[in-house]
Copies of this chain bind each other. A is one copy, B any other.
Amino acid sequence: MLIRGLGEFGLIKRMTKQIRTDSTVLKGIGDDCAVIKWTKEKYLLFTTDTIIEGVDFKDKDDPYLIGRKALAITLSDIAACGGIPKYCLVSLALPERTKVEVCDRIYSGIKHLAGQYGINIVGGDISASKILTVNISLIGFVEKKRLVLRSGAKPGDVIFVTGGLGGSISGKHLAFDPRLKEARFLVKNFKINSMIDISDGLVQDLGHILDESKAGAVIYEDLIPINQQARGLQDALYSGEDFELLFTLSLKESKKLTCKNPYFIQIGHIAKKQSGFNLLTKSGRQKKLDIRGFRHF
């Protein structure tokens, strides 16, 4: 059988099912970051992402933005756990025909974004390859009381996103701002029950929260913020690479949030598992949502 027969998530499940971790690992595979016990007050966060020519960017894209994106998507994982990024390693695989100026610009993109968030570039790796590939691995930390995982959503929670969805693929995916400041504002001021970054589409990523939290949800068609670049609702529901945060918190907490800050957009609420995952359409019908979105295969 070929891997596309299993699909990306089937493959991950199959390959990782027998993995055991010791008691220092609070959360291993299955969230935006691994969470490791560290000091009395803080957890260590550990995450990695790879971007590949022809899949995550085109060979004609600005190398500055390619480097920037590689780091930005990793930062987005730290944001999703409510944390602060701190140390990164950069692995580049480069075709021999690559111009030095292209490398300079890839590295500039990484360095500028790292500088903006106080991240130390502490090492890495350079290899020859037929295809340009950038991998970043990142260590961050989060205060124990501020850690947010995918698994904490509770029926009755209100679901929010941090910005417009859909159409990222027409450009924004290369130049988005990871929602680190927003995430820190949220975890410092509110009890956030669950959070994820929307990398593979709203429906699929909310699906991950529902899986991990053993819950259902209703989202409202007329509340979903559609990005100007999107072709419509379908893009907002299913297209990848928005890198906005999706989070849930209790009704009581959500009232405080909406009074203080109108930039977070309410899109629905968490329900019991047995009620499933539904879209309330503009015409008032409940429509069952199929969990699909961007998948590598």
Interface residues of A in 127-153 (CB under 8 A from B): 127-131, 133, 135, 137, 139
Question: Closest CB-CB distance, A152 to chain B, in whole Å?
Answer: 18
- Inter-chain CA distance A1–B99, complex, in Å, is 6
Judge whether A100 and B22 touch: CB under 8 Å.
no
- Inter-chain CA distance A111–B25, complex, in Å, is 16
Give 12 A-B contacts (CB < 8 Å), ordered by A residue.
A8-B126, A21-B122, A25-B87, A25-B120, A39-B39, A46-B89, A48-B137, A49-B125, A50-B127, A131-B131, A135-B135, A137-B137
* A103 contacts the other chain (CB 8 A): yes
Chain A interface helix/strand/loop/mixed: mixed
Do A100 and B3 contact each other (CB < 8 Å), given the known contacts A8-B126, A46-B89, A139-B139? yes
Residues of B within 8 A of A133 (CB): 50, 93, 129, 133
* A2 contacts the other chain (CB 8 A): yes
Judge whether A19 and B137 touch: CB under 8 Å.
no
Give the number of copies in the complex. 2
* A6 contacts the other chain (CB 8 A): yes
* A282 contacts the other chain (CB 8 A): no
Of the listed stretches A26-34, A161-169, A203-211, A239-247, name the one at the interface; the rest are far from the partner chain. A26-34
Residues of B within 8 A of A135 (CB): 48, 50, 91, 135
Residues of B within 8 A of A28 (CB): 120-123
* Binary CB contact string for chain A from 10 to 29 against chain B (1 if under 8 A, 0 otherwise): 01101110110110110011
Residues of B within 8 A of A124 (CB): 29, 48
- Inter-chain CA distance A8–B125, complex, in Å, is 10
* A233 contacts the other chain (CB 8 A): no
Judge whether A120 and B1 touch: CB under 8 Å.
no
Judge whether A50 and B125 touch: CB under 8 Å.
yes
- Inter-chain CA distance A122–B98, complex, in Å, is 34
* A222 contacts the other chain (CB 8 A): no
- Inter-chain CA distance A181–B101, complex, in Å, is 43
Residues of B within 8 A of A93 (CB): 50, 52, 133
Question: Closest CB-CB distance, A295 to chain B, in whole Å?
Answer: 9
Residues of B within 8 A of A12 (CB): 126
- Inter-chain CA distance A185–B4, complex, in Å, is 46
Judge whether B121 and A89 touch: CB under 8 Å.
no
* Binary CB contact string for chain A from 226 to 258 against chain B (1 if under 8 A, 0 otherwise): 000000000000000000000000000000000
Judge whether A3 and B96 touch: CB under 8 Å.
yes
* A220 contacts the other chain (CB 8 A): no
Judge whether A104 and B14 touch: CB under 8 Å.
yes
- Inter-chain CA distance A48–B93, complex, in Å, is 13
